[in-house]
Amino acid sequence: MHGRSLIDHPGLRRTFPAWLLLGALVIAFCSQSPYFLTGLNVSNILFQAALIGFVACGLTPVVISGNIDLTVGAIMGVCACLVIELQSLGVAAAIVVSLGAGAVLGLLNGVLVEKTGVSSFIVTLAGMVGLRGLAFVLTGDTSVALEDERLSSLIEYQVGPLSVGVLVFIANVLTLHCLLAFTVHGRNTYAIGGHRTAAYDAGIPVSSHVITNFVVSGILAGASGILMAANLGAASPSYGSGYELWAIIAVVLGGTGLRGGTGSIAGTLVAVLALATLRNGLELMSVPPLYEPLIIGTVLITVLVIDTIITPRRAGYE
Amino acid sequence: MNEFLLEARNVGKAFAGIQALKDVTFGVRAGEIHALCGENGAGKSTLMRILDGSLQPDSGGIYLSGIHKTFSKPLKARRAGVLLIHQEISLVPELSVAENVFLGQLPTRWGQIDGRTLLRATTKLLQECDLDVNPSALVSTLSIAQQQRVEILRAFAFPYSVVIFDEPTASLSEAESQRFFSHVERLRQRDIAVVYISHRIREIFRLADRISVLRDGEISSTFNTRSTNEAEVTQAMVGRSVVHTKNEARNVEGKEVLHLESFSWRPGKGGISLSLHKGEILGLYGLVGAGRSELAETLFGLRAVIQGTLYWKGQSVSIRCARQAVELGMGFVPEDRKTLGLMMELGILENLSLVVLPVLCRSGFILKRREKDLFDKLCRQLGIRTVGAHRPVSILSGGNQQKILLAKWLARRPELLILDEPTRGIDVGAKAEVHALIRSLSAEGIAILMISSEMPEVMSLSDRIVTMRDGSITGKFASHMVTEELLLKHSAPILN
């Protein structure tokens, strides 16, 4: 790259705020709490990161292609309830059916967006409300508890400090990264977000790429819901509320532009780690949960404003 | 009278260490049209933005009637009587013509917009300028040419003493430009100082009293229009002489690639019949609204075919989407002034390989090495100097962006390439390079359908020229036989 530093790489440059936040938080919490860097706490952070991470990583390609998916939180709720209610079929079958449900809901989103021409914001905003309702109908408006232990014991299985959930998440991050960075589907996703008409004119099957990304987003939101249900041994139709916002925050903090065409899974991953660290650290320092949203909101806006200020303005072109 | 009404004295400006303007002194007198020309990147827009207060100079200053002024923002400049009319149309589509003309200074009565005064004032302006636009029509319902006229109306709405035009005719056709010139001359008659920025040498000579050339951030020379010629100005712009070569009568006898028979995107009389051969450049000349872009879009499957038949290498086919057209072997570079049809944030390499990915991959994975080889080869072939394969295309100059746009199709080796205004908005030097590229594409056997509003371009590049008016073909010519008068006669609207 003509001796240019890595900082000049446009993709890496955009992940800067996430790195900044993560680094600052790790330094701050290390100095405040001796417990912070222990194995148990780190694996706690990783598990928290995986919960948001599945959703955020699934959302990233959707946003890169110039769309948004607000249904992810509701899909989490639906899939969490499904996996608990279907456990009589066996753990594997319950998981497969729940993930399948996530895929079908994602497909529905994608097809509605592509075939009707209604913007993805509107389609998934309606979907967010409607699917949350579906979760309530599925459970009859009550929490459902796990009757056998198989699902929760599966989640407790560990390899070193990493639980199964975290391992699956890591595999998922690697797969998605390869998908975006090395495949034709990934490249076309960037192209569609960058200039949809030009992508269409280049003969790219725009609709099928966009729909595929919605399906991936649905499946991964489902995975997050299943992980949550397995971890808590129960499910409630309100599971995952607010996760669509966490996911969008992670995606943006990770340097993916909401206008589409830019972004990376690596950025989202770092942002997810930073968010999980922030929440974990606040708990460690026994900040009352009441203050958490206020602090998190303040920190986020500060980081993004700092980033905008220190970014050199582009030179004026003719 | 040697007093300058508006003058930039010894102005310097740098961006991120790059010196955009060096010690520039440029002045315009009342009742004078002073043209400013130069290649892309020469610093024209920077100078204009300093004159209208969008940018502040690092050194030097702006003088209005000899008094030093600091315009901290465009509104301040406007209040002082200096108006910049931007290259891009900057109207609010959801507001009416009248509201747009007076935007920012709407007449009010008791704190509310005085609709009656507004309408009356606009109607009066429209009559004065001899424009046929409904003052209460929403701007979004107007054509681009009409919108341009509304934009110009702003210059007449207030007693401005200086009006700066930044490439005003870039999206106008020949005839519309002629009408526009009469408005500019009207400004001169009113003793207003006009700064006129344009790439188009010919119209500069038609309008300007003096011509200044900006090169690499410096005024390289200033000419009196009466005592100079086009070649001299062009040479001052590019620093070398540019020779316009006229096409010799080439003997194109390749196989027929495309044949249309009473083909159209709309019902009714006629339809379009033409044929295009391997290695041939067919120029499609006509005014804006003649249906040239519509024809191109229909060919490429972006519009439905309402009547007629398309024969592709002798076979009758119906093309329903762009993907199908690409797979048949067509390429399309649409007219798109703002974004040029590029993914601005994506890298140069990523933009270049866009249409060849299907052959550059194995089971869905991109073969990165072959992609890079292709990139290196294309850059060498096109003389694109890049600062890195993955740097975003937005950092390239307009001319290089246009070359990328053509080159991505070069990689795919289509049999037919449709170009809609391939050199709109790029400077003289880059234009010559794009023309050379188009010639070499046709030399490789690609049939080219080129839409253009610029007569010299159509006449120098095409083997044959087809003129269009109102959705139909009005004439077919061999390019070495054609004259400008002939083209105009066959494309100008029929007056009734």
Ramachandran sector of residue B379 (left: φ over 0; alpha: ψ -120 to 50; beta: rest): alpha
Alpha carbon separation from B118 to B96, B99, B105 (Å, rounded): 11, 7, 10
Say which amino acid occupies B90: S
Tokens at B39, concatenated: 């290649």
* For testing contact with chain A, the best of B45, B299, B323, B343 (most A CBs within 10 A): B343
Q: Which residue has the higher pLDDT, A30 or A269?
A: A269
List of chain B residues whose C-beta atoms are within 8 Å of the C-beta of residue A194: 343-346
Question: How many CB pairs (< 8 A) connect A and B?
Answer: 111
Residue numbers of B between 18 and 57 with CB closer than 8 Å to A: 18, 20, 40-46, 49, 55
Cα B202 from Cα B230, distance rounded (Å): 8
Q: Residue B96: what pLDDT?
A: 87
B11 contact A CB<8A: no
How does residue A315 score in pLDDT terms, banded at 50, 70 and 90? very low
Long-range contacts of B368-375 (CB under 8 A, 24+ apart): B368/A182, B374/B411, B375/B348, B375/B349
Nearest in space to B301 (alpha carbons), one of B285, B318, B329, B322: B322
pTM of the entire predicted model: 0.77
CATH topology for A13-29+36-309? ABC transporter involved in vitamin B12 uptake, BtuC (1.10.3470)
The predicted pLDDT at position B252 comes to 62
Chain B residues whose CB is inside 8 A of the A205 CB are 323
Residues 6 or more apart in contact with residue B429 via CB below 8 angstroms:
B39, B237, B238, B242, B399
Report pLDDT for B496: 39
The pLDDT value recorded for residue B76 is 86
ipTM score for this prediction: 0.75
Contact across the interface for A183 and B43, Cβ inside 8 Å:
no
Q: Is the pLDDT of residue A71 over 90?
A: yes
Per-residue pLDDT reduced to its tens digit, A108-145: 999 999 999 999 999 999 999 999 999 999 888 788 88
In this complex, which of A195, A205, A314 lies closest to B339 when CB atoms are compared?
A195
Three-class secondary structure of residue B137 per DSSP? coil
Nearest CB among B334, B350, B361 relative to A201 is that of B334
Q: How far is A195 from chain B (nearest CA, A)?
A: 5
Cβ-defined contact of A201 to B365 (cutoff 8 Å) = no
- The pLDDT assigned to A311 comes to 60
The closest of A56, A142, A144 to A98, measured between CA atoms, is: A144
Chain B: nearest CA to A316, how far in angstroms? 7
Is residue A13 pLDDT above 80, yes or no? no
B67 close contact with A: CB closer than 8 A = no
Residue bearing the bigger pLDDT, B182 or A313: B182
When the pLDDT of each residue in chain A is averaged and rounded to a whole number, the result is 88
Question: Which pLDDT value is given to residue A186?
Answer: 92
Q: Are B74 and B52 in contact (CB under 8 A)?
A: yes
Residue of B nearest to A199 (CA): B354
Tell me the nearest-neighbour CA distance from B106 into chain A, angstroms. Answer: 31
Distance (Å) from the alpha carbon of B397 to chain A's nearest alpha carbon: 8
What is the predicted pLDDT for the residue at B66? 86
**Is 50 exceeded by the pLDDT of residue A316?**
no
B422 dihedral zone (left: phi>0; alpha: psi -120 to 50; beta): alpha
d(CA B226, CA B205): 9
The one-character DSSP state at B485 is H
Q: Answer whether A191 sits within 8 Å of B365, measured CB to CB.
A: no
> A317 to chain B, minimum CA–CA distance in Å?
7
pLDDT value at residue B19: 76
Of B19, B346, B394, B406, which to mutate for an interface test with A (greatest number of A Cβ within 10 Å)? B346
Residues of B in contact with A7 (CB under 8 A): none
- From the first residue on, what is the mean pLDDT of each consecutive set of 10 residues in chain B (496 residues)? 81 76 89 85 81 88 88 85 81 85 79 84 84 84 79 82 84 75 87 86 87 86 85 75 55 81 83 90 84 89 89 91 91 73 84 86 87 86 74 77 84 89 76 85 90 84 89 86 79 59
Whole-number pLDDT of residue B41: 64
Which pLDDT score is estimated for B16? 60
At B494 the pLDDT is: 58
**Residue-level pLDDT at A3:** 39
The sign of the dihedral angle between the CA atoms of A234, A240, A246, A248 is positive
Task: Give the Cα separation of B456 and B230 in Å (integer).
Answer: 14
- Which residues in chain B have their CB less than 8 angstroms from residue A14's CB? none
| For A312, nearest residue in chain B (alpha carbons) | B16
Q: What is the pLDDT of residue B339?
A: 60
Residues 295-354 of B with CB under 8 A from A: 300, 302, 322-323, 325-327, 332, 334, 336, 339, 341-347, 350, 353-354
Query: What does the pLDDT read at residue B336?
Result: 67
A261 interaction partners in chain B (CB closer than 8 Å): 343-346
Given an 8 Å threshold on Cβ–Cβ distance, is A194 in contact with B345? yes
Q: Is the pLDDT of residue A310 over 80?
A: no
CA pair distance A258, A16, nearest whole angstrom = 17
- If you search the block for the tokens 């509201």, which residue do you land on? B99
Write down the pLDDT at residue A318: 29
Q: Which long-range contacts (CB under 8 A, 24 or more apart) does B363-372 make?
A: B364/A183, B364/A184, B364/A185, B365/A182, B365/A183, B365/A184, B366/A182, B366/A183, B366/A184, B366/A187, B368/A182
pLDDT at A174: 95
For residues B115 and B470, what is the distance between their CA atoms, to the nearest angstrom? Answer: 37
Q: Chain A residues with CB inside 8 Å of B419's CB? A: none
| Torsion angle of C-alpha atoms B365, B368, B370, B372, degrees rounded to 10 | 150
Partners of residue B20 in chain A, C-beta under 8 Å: 315-316
Task: Please report the pLDDT score of residue A7 as a whole number.
Answer: 46
State the average pLDDT over residues A246-250. 92
Report CA-CA distances (Å) from B297 to A131, B264, B284, B300.
40, 11, 14, 5
pLDDT of A98: 96
Q: What's residue A317's pLDDT?
A: 34
